């Protein structure tokens, strides 16, 4: 090949390239776009799932939420339950129950201390349970009764209607006592024993009307009431005094008036020093 021929070949290649280059510039290589792994529908579904779950959790918490009531020493409190039943708490007492009650399920409250119940009977005949310490409970439909559950000693007095008092016996089996109006049942948890007798129910719920009524009531029981309800520490000069039986009544509008009335009514010296009540015989 001569130099002239080689030169001519180069000129032809350059000329061909000049014609081809513009054509290559006009044809860009297509780029394939990758679709994201999610889209608007998936995002919306996920958001809806989160919302439904959040609402569900909130609803469950709301349904299971509990309401608690607590009274101070010497205070009484009237509570209306979701079914319109009424509970009156005495001093130094607690009441708790679920915020929402269904229309067909059992009704249940918990009490620690003293309370008077006026339970409404429902059309669907819902049972009403009162749970107390030491695995004790009362089952009712519609009735009125007074409960005192303090320091492992429990007393239930039925004013009207009918209730079942459930307790654990010495054989660890649940014993059921059917109570009728006027019945009083006292249960000692430590001994797992009980006594039952007929009484005047009004005496045991008199505190609701701002009075304490006693009918041959041992002084020991009166002093226990003052300690549990008003938080007083009791000092008794002569232990034999505790067996004295007292009859009468005293107002409970305030602790000083109550102590003065007790002294005048029973001819016993009650001296209050701070939170301590000193009990002595009269000269």
Domain ranges of the chain: 64-201, 210-281
| Chain segment 95-144, per-residue pLDDT in tens | 999 998 877 789 999 999 999 999 998 888 899 999 999 989 999 978 99
How many residues in the chain? 283
For residues 171-184, average pLDDT: 90
Report the pLDDT value the prediction gives residue 72, as an integer from 0 to 100. 96
Of the candidates 168, 169, 201, 163, which has an alpha carbon nearest to the alpha carbon of residue 182?
201
**Residues 6 or more apart whose Cβ sits within 8 Å of residue 282:** 267, 268, 269
Report yes or no: 269 and 279 within 8 Å, Cβ to Cβ.
Answer: yes
210-281: CATH number = 3.55.50.30
Where does residue 279 rank: exposed (0-12), middle (13-18), buried (19+ CB within 10 A)? buried
Assigned token pair, 167: 């307790």
Where does residue 132 rank: exposed (0-12), middle (13-18), buried (19+ CB within 10 A)? buried
Distance, CA of 242 to CA of 235 (rounded, Å): 11
User: pTM (2 decimals)?
Assistant: 0.75
Question: Pairing mode, if any, of strands 86-89 and 77-80?
Answer: antiparallel
Report CA 233 to chain centroid distance, whole Å. 29
| Beta partners for residue 217, in sequence order | 246
Distance, CA of 234 to CA of 223 (rounded, Å): 7
Assigned token pair, 143: 């009735």
- Say whether pLDDT at 157 is over 80: yes
- Say whether pLDDT at 64 is over 70: no
Which residue intervals of 175-268 are DSSP H helices? Answer: 201-204, 219-230, 255-266
Report yes or no: 119 and 108 within 8 Å, Cβ to Cβ.
Answer: no
The single residue listed with the structure tokens 């439909």 is: 141
Mean pLDDT of the chain: 85
For residues 172-189, average pLDDT: 91
At 274, is the pLDDT very low, low, confident or very high (cuts 50, 70, 90)? very high
Of the candidates 133, 141, 146, which has an alpha carbon nearest to the alpha carbon of residue 106?
141
Report the pLDDT value the prediction gives residue 78, as an integer from 0 to 100. 98
Report yes or no: 114 and 147 within 8 Å, Cβ to Cβ.
Answer: yes
64-201: CATH number = 2.60.120.1440
For residues 245-274, average pLDDT: 91
């Amino acid at each position: 090949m001569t130099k002239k021929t080689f030169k001519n070949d180069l000129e032809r290649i350059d000329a061909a390239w000049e014609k081809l280059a513009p054509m290559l510039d006009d044809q860009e290589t297509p780029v394939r776009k990758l679709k994201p792994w999610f889209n608007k529908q998936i995002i919306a579904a996920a958001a809806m799932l989160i919302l439904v779950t959040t609402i569900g959790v909130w609803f469950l918490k709301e349904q299971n939420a509990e309401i608690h009531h607590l009274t101070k020493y010497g205070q009484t409190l009237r509570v209306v339950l979701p079914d319109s039943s009424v509970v009156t708490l005495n001093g130094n007492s607690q009441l708790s129950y679920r915020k929402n009650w269904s229309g067909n399920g059992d009704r249940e409250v918990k009490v620690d201390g003293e309370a008077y119940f006026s339970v409404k009977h429902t059309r669907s005949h819902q049972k009403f349970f009162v749970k107390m310490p030491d695995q004790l409970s009362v089952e009712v439909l519609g009735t009125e009764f007074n409960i005192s559950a303090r320091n492992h000693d429990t007393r239930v007095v039925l004013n009207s209607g009918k209730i079942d008092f459930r307790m654990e016996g010495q054989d660890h089996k649940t014993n059921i006592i059917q109570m009728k109006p006027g019945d009083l049942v006292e249960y000692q948890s430590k001994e797992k024993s009980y006594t039952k007798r007929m009484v005047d129910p009004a005496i045991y719920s008199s505190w609701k009307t701002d009075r304490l009524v006693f009918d041959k009531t041992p002084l020991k029981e009166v002093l226990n009431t003052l300690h549990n309800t008003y938080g007083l520490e009791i000092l008794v000069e002569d232990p034999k005094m505790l067996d004295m039986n007292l009859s009468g009544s005293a107002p409970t509008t305030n602790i000083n008036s109550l102590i003065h009335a007790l002294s005048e009514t029973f001819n016993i010296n009650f001296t209050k020093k701070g939170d301590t009540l000193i009990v002595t015989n009269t000269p």
